[in-house]
Chains A and B, each alone.
Chain A
Amino acid sequence: MKDQTLKQQITEMATRYPASRSAVMPALHLAQAHYGYLTQDAMAEVAEYLHLPRVTVLEIATFYSLFHTRRVGKYHLQLCTNLSCMLLGAERLQRQLEQQLDIRCGETTADGRFTLTAVECLGACEMAPVMQLNDDYCGHLNEQRLAEMLQTLQEEPNSNPENGPPSS
């Protein structure tokens, strides 16, 4: 079932640019926010609304690392492992996350609650070591803070374990 709101948002977005093709990235952001991740159908919708070949949309969705063509957990933990964070212990924190969640970087827990990704510099080195939890930055991390954070997130009731599309 296609969503008229999404269509409207994408069409409006296209008016900001001299050619609708420029709206492909904002459209993919909108579609991803709407569906949770970029399914084949979601990408086909974007292609249709912007009058682009499907392959063009796929090409963009797979070039940029913030677009996900696979399901992402309810909590996406993106740990910075670049130099400033590495110097302050990011490698230890990565091992801790992998152990506690029992997954490797790039994987999602079986219950769909957590996805763990090691990422390049998040542009917040003043609060290194830093991690992005969904949209929010969590800085000045250490083992204890991280353990507490994980516990809070693990205890939260998982109302939407599949993290799928909203039931509209």
Chain B
Amino acid sequence: MYEQVLLLERRDSEYQDLAGYRLAGGYSALGSTLRDSSPEQLIDLVKEAKLRGRGGAGFPTGLKWSFVPKGNASAKWLLCNADEGEPGTFKDRIIMEQTPHLLLEGMTLAAYAIGAAKAYIYIRGEYVTAIRRLEREIQASLQAGLLGKNILGSGFDLDIYVHRGAGAYICGEETALIESLEGKRGQPRFKPPFPAVSGFYKGPTVVNNVETLACVPPIVQRGADWFRSIGSEKCPGPKLYCLSGHVRRPGLYELPMGISLRELVEQHAGGTHSGKKIKAVIPGGISAALLPEPALDVAMDFDALSAAGTMLGSAGVIVMDESTCMVRVAHRIIEFFHHESCGKCTPCREGLAWVEQMLGRIEAGEAKSGDLESMERLYGNIEGNTFCLLGDAAAMALRGVVKNFRHEFIERIQQGGRAA
């Protein structure tokens, strides 16, 4: 039986405040680390655990931390990416609402590892409940000596601030997040330099996702071997999966990394709510290419999904039953990406506008033969030609729909209007 370590609220809702979190052993990881371990030892532990970033890219967290230069030459920054905007994803919101201290303790450990004295939680502006709760609990931590000056008598100082976003998907991209936190429009920067070298106000900066940071206290408490005993060798640890769409039991599931997508959808989430057959499943938020029903026997981890031509992304699993019109799905996905394009790169800004128009014509039955091929050439020319991955994600998502359900597009073009 898998024991949940991230979703403590399933056992008790008392973890929302500091007293409850401490009763459950909270902050023992921080206490033992500040007492017994150097920042280097903490980085080594997280490397040994093989924790990979839960925001989507799957980059090794310990390695990311180790890129931050040692010494006090310039101020270092820890930024928590809580700008959860990938459609189909709600895991970070639930962590912040239900166990805010799991994130705050994880952030304090991460800041200690990289030598940051200030940290910001860049949270999406809609998450008002989480914002209020985090602000309240930061005050509680300050009063308890768990934040602020000389934390637990260790000499380590840290302030954490909540920075409320204002509705821009692009700010989930780490360099756009940094730009936004500097008070600018959220537009991605060219990399390199990477944030670990030159990030927030040109200082060394680590940007970590909420779930990634929430994994750190359990790693310290239970050890790297425990973490690696869950999931697969290259992608270990507990994982949060967000289930939504045509599914009987939508919700957040904490299970080992690498569980089969079919098991996740059919057993844990109970299959489709309608009892109809599954048509396709998006495994990692709408940026991830969908998988048709026969391809569901795939492990939910970074490497297996990449090999299957898609990605784990944010683990936002969206289930579609056989009644779903895939032309409509494609059109809605591209409307989203076009709306959220920051406008910096021409291929993304203009290309997505054209693709959206073409999909609109196909859906309305006003497309001509050859339009599908033109559209494919068009989105092929977005890929690889932009600063960030938003344009690539749009192309990947659309290619997934067209590749698996091409006949629906062709039928719509041939018949015109809504297919019978």
Contacts and interface: CB of A to CB of B under 8 A. Distances in A.
Contacts of A132: 126
The SS class assigned to the B binding surface is mixed
Interface in B191-247: 200-201, 242-246
Contacts of B159: 16
B394 to A, nearest CB: 13
Interface residues of A, number: 40
A124 B93 contact: yes
A66 B169 CA distance: 12
Contacts of B200: 18
A88 B250 CA distance: 12
A25 B336 contact: no
A58 to B, nearest CB: 11
Contact of A83 (B125, B169, B243, B333): B333
Interface string B116-152: 0000000011111100000000000000000000000
Contacts of B166: 25, 28-29, 64-67
A120 B168 contact: no
A60 B339 CA distance: 17
Contacts of B268: none
A87 B87 contact: no
Contact of A26 (B163, B186, B245): B163
A6 interface: no
Given A84-B244, A126-B90, A66 B126 contact: yes
Interface string B60-94: 00000000000000010000000011111110110
Interface in A50-66: 52, 56, 59-60, 63-66
A47 to B, nearest CB: 12
A131 to B, nearest CB: 11
Q: B165, B166, B184, B242 — which one has the most chain A CB atoms within 10 A of its CB?
A: B166
A126 B246 CA distance: 11
Contacts of A122: 126
B59 interface: no
A71 interface: no
Contact of A123 (B84, B183, B186, B245): B84
Query: Chain B contact residues (Cβ within 8 angstroms of A): what range?
Result: 35 or more
B376 interface: no
A126 B252 contact: yes
A60 B185 contact: yes
B250 A125 contact: yes
A120 B339 contact: yes
Q: B86, B126, B164, B184 — which one has the most chain A CB atoms within 10 A of its CB?
A: B126
Contacts of B246: 87-88
Contact of B124 (A28, A67, A123, A128): A123
Interface of B: 75, 84-90, 92-93, 124-129, 159, 161, 163-169, 180-186, 200-201, 242-246, 250-252, 282, 286, 316, 318, 320, 324, 328-329, 332-333, 336, 339-340
27 contacts: A16-B159, A19-B183, A22-B182, A25-B166, A25-B183, A26-B163, A59-B185, A60-B184, A63-B185, A64-B166, A64-B168, A64-B186, A66-B125, A66-B166, A83-B88, A87-B246, A87-B320, A120-B87, A120-B169, A120-B340, A121-B89, A122-B126, A125-B88, A125-B242, A126-B90, A126-B242, A126-B250
Chain A to chain B: the 4 pairs with minimum beta-carbon distance, closest first: A64-B166, A125-B244, A65-B167, A21-B183
